[in-house]
């Protein structure tokens, strides 16, 4: 990897996916239903450092916020196949409900959000589905996305796939994404690295960010 020319800072954005209390805090919604969020919590310092590095390099920073609708998500609750297969009815999700503490960015990442950043609110796993993300990136002439966040096999992989389908260059920071199931995490990263982008460690990505700042005169 030639770290000195990996990124063009004016054409690169850091995407922080769903680093919210629901998924990352030991008292959040995921933990309340019995899911282990220790891996998600552990990446908070790495994500925070990448946000600061991206900002120092003059790169765009974008945050996605998952918003649950609970019992108001009627389209999701109307799905019939799981019931017909005897897997039980689809129950309302109780985490990340809009306008609650659960849906807020986890500390200390909430303090990293700046007025110049872009925040994308979403109702489904992909950051591109029925949101302004693609239009926002294209208006800024962004061609490369550096992806961090949670959960690897769900919102991260869904967003990465959609970014790839839209012909963005995608770099997933392997130690800055996480989920509750290590096997799912590893499987997603293997697929992403093979088909939808590349997976790199945070140290290499941060070095390339810094190099882009120097090359760009920041």
Please identify which of the residues 96, 102, 155, 162 carries the catalytic annotation: 155
- Phi then psi for residue 215, to 5 deg, are -65, -30
CA dist 96 to 65, 70, 138, 153, Å? 9, 9, 28, 18
Is 18 noted as a catalytic residue in this protein?
yes
Please identify which of the residues 18, 24, 96, 102 carries the catalytic annotation: 18
Contact between 116 and 62 (Cβ < 8 Å)? no
Is 155 noted as a catalytic residue in this protein?
yes
Catalytic residues: 18, 122, 155
């Amino acid at each position: 990897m030639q770290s000195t020319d990996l990124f063009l800072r004016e054409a690169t954005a850091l995407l922080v996916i769903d680093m919210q209390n629901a998924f990352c805090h030991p008292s959040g919604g995921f933990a309340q239903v019995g899911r282990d969020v220790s891996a998600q919590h552990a990446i908070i310092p790495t994500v925070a450092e990448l946000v600061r590095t991206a900002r120092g390099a003059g790169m765009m920073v974008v945050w996605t916020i998952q918003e649950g609708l609970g019992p108001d998500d009627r389209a999701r609750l109307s799905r019939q196949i799981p019931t017909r297969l005897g897997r039980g009815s689809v129950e309302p999700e109780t985490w990340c409900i809009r306008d609650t503490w659960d849906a807020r960015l986890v500390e200390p990442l909430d303090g990293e959000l700046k007025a110049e950043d872009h925040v994308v609110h979403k109702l489904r796993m992909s950051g591109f589905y029925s949101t302004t993300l693609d239009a926002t990136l294209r208006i800024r002439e962004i061609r490369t996305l550096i992806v961090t966040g949670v959960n690897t096999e769900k919102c991260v992989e869904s967003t990465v796939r959609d970014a790839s389908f839209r012909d963005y260059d995608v770099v997933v920071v392997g130690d800055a994404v996480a989920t509750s199931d290590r096997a799912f995490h590893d499987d997603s990263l293997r697929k992403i690295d093979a088909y939808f982008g590349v997976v790199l460690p945070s140290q290499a990505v941060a070095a390339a960010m810094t190099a882009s700042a120097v090359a760009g005169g920041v």
